[in-house]
Amino acid sequence: MREFDGGSLSAFLLLALLAAALSSYRFQFNINGDYLVYQVFILFNVPIWKKEIYPDQIKQLKFNEVWYGFKRAAVIKLNKGMNIRLSILEQREGYDHLLEFARKHNLEVYKTKDYLWLEERNR
Q: Is 79 within 8 Å of 59 (Cβ atoms)?
A: yes
Is the model's pLDDT at 1 over the cut of 80?
Answer: no
Instruction: Annotate 66-98 with b (16+ C-beta within 10 A) or e (fewer).
Output: eeeeeebbbbbbeeeeeebebeebeeeebbeeb
Domains of the chain by start residue, with CATH: 55-121 (2.30.29.30)
DSSP 3: P
> pLDDT tens, 40-98?
888 778 888 899 999 999 999 999 888 766 678 899 999 998 899 988 676 778 888 99
pLDDT confidence of residue 90: 67
Residue with the bigger pLDDT between 57 and 9: it is 57
Cite the DSSP H helix spans in the chain.
Answer: 6-23, 94-104, 113-121
- pTM tops 0.85, yes or no: no
Q: For the chain, what percent of residues have pLDDT higher than 90?
A: 34
